[in-house]
Structure 1
């Protein structure tokens, strides 16, 4: 039987997620610029400032500038839908509360990173480094609370190993390898997967590579991309991590 208190907590969590979506939208709009260009601080159409604490509708689910109506950042309602789905899946996984806190932190950074990578093939340091630092610290706290220091050591080892692997492909293969942004993203991806065990790390990477490969084949068959184009790999890394965490739950 559902209680009024339980229902109230669920609604509170939902409202909390929706309250931070303008910040997530701001992160996507600010960082979705081509390499070499400064971060976006205003509407490209009319130069109305974009501020995470401000009122422009670019930061609302409509994703439109309040002054000229120009579309800015992620598609309408996309960030909100992903954020709510992430909340539901994270809370339903049934992990101890310290681990859940770490996963919520990690998810909050993965959402804008995935949207930015899809838009402009970039994984900004301003998003990947806080994601990694917070994930490492919160998982360390979780290790202390739950009495699982080995899980934290494994998480750090997996993070470092995956980051070195992706960085090595860049050094060896240049532009044909993975970008350094993928290596920095792996610092948090690897930590989250590693916490749950080496089989989960392998599963997450398998899903990422398989998802990337299948998507590339489908887009090539539909003539949406050419053989010389590369897909952004960050979203597939995030997908693999999500599948791994859900499987571990």
Structure 2
């Protein structure tokens, strides 16, 4: 747990840096006073309070948001059984999923600098799992599932534009499909069903409370991450 919490500054820096609108240069300092942020001076800007050391303005994710998601990710990693290499692939993906969720919630985007490493590392570590005992079958299925899911999401973007999924969602789906497809096609379907059910439930609640309108667009990345974790937890 202490080791996991040690990565909080890195995760907070990723959220602070990339939680900017599309087309805007990555954030390098405090929006209020311009004070630089970085791992050479992580506190208090990249700590739990998430405040600029100069003007005390908030930087990046809200206080304790990263820590809460990190604890949830550790719980998923502990509860999902499997060989070390498979768990390493899941740990890698979860580490990137935390800033991706928070960035998507903040600015409705999933930056390439987070989605590509998440997908490529997951595929590579599953390849290690295949070569150290699982065999080529699960890995080939995982690659096919990741590619198919990513392509399906990207196709909705090309056909439907803003009414479809974003290309960031498609890139996130590359890793999601691989993790779920590794366990079998049935789990991939289960993960997607849980994702859409969760998205529908949250949308209905927000509509009923008048927090959003019928034309509002909710970020889909958090639902995709949550649905994936829920499906993996069902396998034990």
CA contact (8 A) 1:109 1:127 kept: yes
Gaps of 5+ in 1: 1-13
Matched residue, 1:20: 7
Rounded to whole Å, the distance in 1 between the matches of 2:164 and 2:46 is 35
Q: CA RMSD in A?
A: 1.0
Which of 41, 49, 54 does residue 67 from structure 1 map onto? 54
Identify if the C-alpha distance between structure 1 residues 53 and 102 changes in structure 2 by more than 3 Å, giving closer, same or farther.
Answer: farther
Rounded to whole Å, the distance in 2 between the matches of 1:139 and 1:91 is 18
Instruction: Report the TM-score, using the length of structure 2 for normalisation.
Output: 0.97
1:54 shift after superposition: 2.2
CA deviations 1:203-225 (Å, max 9, x no partner) are 11011111111111111111111
The range that moved more, 46-55 or 179-188, is: 46-55
1:105 shift after superposition: 0.5
Which of 189, 193, 199 does residue 180 from structure 2 map onto? 193
Rounded to whole Å, the distance in 2 between the matches of 1:71 and 1:58 is 8
Gaps of 5+ in 2: none
Does 1:58 pair with 2:45? yes
Rounded to whole Å, the distance in 1 between the matches of 2:231 and 2:139 is 16
Instruction: Report the TM-score, using the length of structure 1 for normalisation.
Output: 0.92
CA deviations 1:142-172 (Å, max 9, x no partner) are 1111233211111101100011111110111
1:85 shift after superposition: 2.2
Which of 175, 184, 204 does residue 191 from structure 2 map onto? 204
CA contact (8 A) 1:50 1:56 kept: no
The range that moved more, 224-233 or 143-152, is: 143-152
Aligned length: 236
What pairs up with 1:107-122 in 2 under 5 angstroms? 107-122=94-109
